[in-house]
Structure 1
Amino acid sequence: MPRILPALGALCIAAATPAAAEFSKVTSASQFKSLVSGKTLTRPLVKLRVNSNGAITGKGAAWDVSGKWTWKNGYFCRSLDWGGEDLGYNCQEVQASGKKIRFTSDQGTGDSAEFSLR
């Protein structure tokens, strides 16, 4: 399976993205849920739903993405499967700006990816 790492972004496997707008850190699970509730997180070749019940579903390129998430110590912590491949567990800093959301892997010290909220 070809690896389209930038398309899946930090939510799946982190890929660097330049800063484009003023982002504010998301500090609580309730704030995060209000941002993503009923929305699809999109970027080229990627459409994901991060549900308030802890489920992650969607597509990355042509493959299904599924996983689980929780909010732990101020971070979005997730485990993911992409097309049958276990992408592992990672806790990520979340920032938001308008209709954009940014995930930065490794508790904010790794690579980042932005998604549009639609």
Structure 2
Amino acid sequence: MRAFIVLLFLLPAPALAFERVESRDAFLSLVQGRTLSGDGVSLRVGVDGSISGRGFGLRVTGGWTWEGGFFCRTLDTLLRDFPRNCQVVQVLGDVLRFTADRGAGDQADLRLR
């Protein structure tokens, strides 16, 4: 028995991993009524397909849809418009990870508040 207990302490703890958000409903259950913040941005994602908030001191507006398992968004600021981009969304605790270009691009981790 003692060897079994020692063995348990030697085994690595399971690693926590981001899990993919698969549906619009699952995504909304995470973001509804909350703010996404980090990396210089603070955004709200609306049930009506709207995005609003601030990024790097600028007002941000935009829109989003959920298509084929991807979060597809456009963003507009005073200085730059960001074209439509469909992104993989993953969650780990209170962090959402957005990976651009259908999962092949840059990542941004935003905390749910």
TM-score (norm 2): 0.83
Letter aligned with residue 61 of structure 1: F
Matched, 1:52 2:47: yes
| Matched residue count | 98
Identity of aligned residues (%): 47
Name stretches of at least 5 consecutive residues in structure 1 with no aligned partner.
Answer: 1-20
**Per-residue CA shift, 1:54-79, capped at 9, x if unaligned?**
00000001101100000001000001
**Per-residue CA shift, 1:34-91, capped at 9, x if unaligned?**
0000110000421000111100000001101100000001000001102242111100
Taking the aligned partners of 1:55 and 1:79, their CA distance within structure 2 comes to 10
Letter aligned with residue 110 of structure 1: G
Paired position in structure 2 for 1:89: 84
Matched, 1:110 2:83: no
Paired position in structure 2 for 1:35: 30
TM-score (norm 1): 0.80
Taking the aligned partners of 1:104 and 1:35, their CA distance within structure 2 comes to 17
Between Structure 1 and Structure 2, whose CA radius of gyration is higher?
A: 2
Letter aligned with residue 23 of structure 1: F
Taking the aligned partners of 1:44 and 1:67, their CA distance within structure 2 comes to 18
RMSD over equivalenced CA pairs, Å:
1.0
Letter aligned with residue 28 of structure 1: S
Taking the aligned partners of 1:102 and 1:51, their CA distance within structure 2 comes to 18
Taking the aligned partners of 1:109 and 1:58, their CA distance within structure 2 comes to 26
Letter aligned with residue 100 of structure 1: V
Q: Quick one: higher RCO (CA 8 Å, sep 6+), 1 or 2? A: 1
Paired position in structure 2 for 1:25: 20
Name stretches of at least 5 consecutive residues in structure 2 with no aligned partner.
Answer: 1-15
